Amino acid sequence: MRLLSTKATCNSHGQDSSYFLGWQEYEKNPYDKVHNPKGIIQMGLAENQLSFDLLESWLAKNLDVAGFKRDGKTIFRELALFQDYHGLPSFKKALVDFMAEIRGNKVTFDPNHIVLTAGATSANETLMFCLAEQGEAFLLPTPYYPGFDRDLKWRTGVEIVPIQCNSSNSFQITEAALRQAYEDAKKRNLRVKGVLVTNPSNPLGTTMSRSELNLLVDFIKEKNDMHLISDEIYSGTVFSSPGFVSVMEVLKERNDVVTDNGVWNRVHVVYSLSKDLGLPGFRVGAIYSENDTVVAAATKMSSFGLVSSQTQYLLSAMLGDKKFTRNYIAENKKRLKRQQRMLVSGLLKTGISCLDSNAGLFCWVDMRQLLHSNTFKAEMELWKKIVYQVGLNISPGSSCHCTEPGWFRVCFANMSEETLALAMKRLKNFVAAESQRNSSSGCSAGALLNNNNGSFKRKSLTKWVFRLSSRDHHREQEER
């Protein structure tokens, strides 16, 4: 007789992914400047720790709010007692105003159409339960956030079918790739219920173009029975041009969305304060939808993962302080930009390039020249060296379902400039040692890449450095 459920004993959670395994290795041997200077530096965690001083400064100036007081009187009992799972109206209003502010107030959000959840993880899973049955599918462009294998699939039974994107066009979604994914799902006898994208992208650190967003809206409009979910939890981290374009802005620009095939009711936005405000531990996420049925169902489901009343009260006051939010958004972007450029510059000195990015807490780093062969086996061998020998936890592209071996997601916002400089020093020493080892074994110090027909070709590191340096120079000129 089975003692536990199949869900309790199955191995489909994704915890054995290299993405999570890297975290485990870091936790066994975490870097500390004083107590463990040779430990592993965590570069696989997309946390924004660059602007905590701004949050702490606000708290210090608003002691009544931090102490759960109103007009000098405690409201602890009021907050501690049962609250409606619809959420505090004051917080929902402050949150939608903050979301609008991040989007340049080009769009507005109705607080009656927002559902509070315990983080974006809960928001995405709740939408899966609302929109799809077990065994149905959502299309996701690759590479995508490794946690989606857990968030979207594990408890819901919903399948993920990849939209295969590649480096030839900087991993942008094409109509051909979108339609091929749809056909791939049909071949697997899967009913496609929609498309889910992250904008800005995790792990690419790039924003989606208007043409990509219009392509997706046109696609679900054509199919007439599909949804589009836009996970926009990094919308406030866009630090360089081009700016962020929300799917809601695209819908607003299209005159036909309200009446034509109900497209407006089939587009849903996921948001969170984990990245933009750097508060993942507060577990504040949200679903925004104009579909009344989805909002009603998601609100009922939210009772399984509520945001505490104390958290809502504190953040409603913080987000309601417009002077603070304007300053925070602007200053946080400046700090992200500076830290990102420090990472890119450090990689360039090592001879490694990145995908040109303008958002997020990470870079999509091209280490193909360090592979011994163009295989995912070689990628994992390189990843293990970087974790165990170099002492850096980064996320291999294969964990993000990238179709090309040799790409890695490297986070930069969860550490000090000093720690980032040390990480780059370690990596530079490693690449130099690898080059010397290759030279002594008869290989060129230049990178060896495997082309499509299986033969090797040489690729100069100098070309990569020159290409990225020129691109950064042009971008700086545009920004001035």
Residue 441: the pLDDT is 66
Residue 77: the pLDDT is 84
Residue 125's contacts (CB-CB under 8 Å, 6 or more residues apart) are 151, 152, 155, 156
Dihedrals φ, ψ of 346, to 5°? -65, -40
pLDDT, mean of residues 1-29: 76
pLDDT, mean of residues 348-370: 96
pLDDT tens profile 22-46: 778 889 999 999 999 999 999 999 9
Active-site residue among 233, 287, 386, 394? 233
Active-site residue among 26, 31, 145, 328? 145
> Which amino acid, 135?
G
Token pair 């170099």 in the structure block, residue: 390
Per the annotation, the verdict on 231 as an active-site residue is yes
Burial class for 458, CB neighbours closer than 10 Å (0-12, 13-18, 19+): exposed
Residue 459: the pLDDT is 36
Rounded CA gap, 391 and 141, in Å?
A: 31
Binned at pLDDT 50, 70 and 90, residue 396 comes out as: very high
Binned at pLDDT 50, 70 and 90, residue 261 comes out as: low
Between the CA atoms of 177, 182, 186 and 191, what dihedral angle is there, to the nearest 10 degrees? Answer: 160
CA distances from 277 to 148, 234, 307, 332, 335 (A): 22, 10, 16, 9, 13
Per the annotation, the verdict on 31 as an active-site residue is no
Q: At what angle do helices 292-301 and 119-131 cross, to 10 degrees?
A: 120
Residue 82's contacts (CB-CB under 8 Å, 6 or more residues apart) are none
Higher pLDDT, 455 or 243: 243
Active-site residue among 149, 151, 231, 366? 231
> Which amino acid, 54?
L
Higher pLDDT, 214 or 83: 214
Per the annotation, the verdict on 233 as an active-site residue is yes
The separation between the first and the last C-alpha atoms of the chain, rounded to the nearest angstrom, is 70
pLDDT at 460 > cutoff 80: no
Residue 4: the pLDDT is 82
pLDDT tens profile 129-156: 999 999 999 999 999 999 999 899 989 9
Residue 178: the pLDDT is 97
Nearest CA among 353, 329, 146, 141 for reference residue 244: 329
Active-site residue among 275, 287, 386, 394? 275
> Which amino acid, 293?
T
Nearest CA among 271, 270, 192, 234 for reference residue 409: 234
How many degrees, rounded to 5, is the angle at CA 73 between CA 309 and CA 112? Answer: 35
Token pair 């082309």 in the structure block, residue: 451
pLDDT tens profile 66-98: 888 888 888 888 888 877 888 999 999 999 999
Dihedrals φ, ψ of 35, to 5°? -90, -25
Binned at pLDDT 50, 70 and 90, residue 256 comes out as: low
Nearest CA among 238, 240, 220, 237 for reference residue 229: 220
Residue 33: the pLDDT is 94
Dihedrals φ, ψ of 410, to 5°? -125, 120
Domains, the chain, in order of start with CATH, read 6-51+334-479 (3.90.1150.10), 64-324 (3.40.640.10)
- Mean of the per-residue pLDDT values for the chain? 88
**Residues 232 and 266 sit within 8 Å (Cβ to Cβ):** no
pLDDT tens profile 217-240: 999 999 989 999 999 999 999 999
pLDDT tens profile 275-332: 999 999 899 999 999 999 999 999 999 989 899 999 999 999 999 999 999 999 999 9
Per the annotation, the verdict on 329 as an active-site residue is no
% of the chain beyond a pLDDT of 70: 89
pLDDT tens profile 410-443: 999 999 999 999 999 999 999 998 888 777 765 5
Nearest CA among 356, 406, 431, 394 for reference residue 172: 356
pLDDT tens profile 158-201: 999 999 999 999 999 999 999 999 999 999 999 999 999 999 99
Rounded CA gap, 432 and 428, in Å?
A: 6
Binned at pLDDT 50, 70 and 90, residue 15 comes out as: low
pTM, 2 dp: 0.88
Residue 456: the pLDDT is 30
Residue 438: the pLDDT is 72
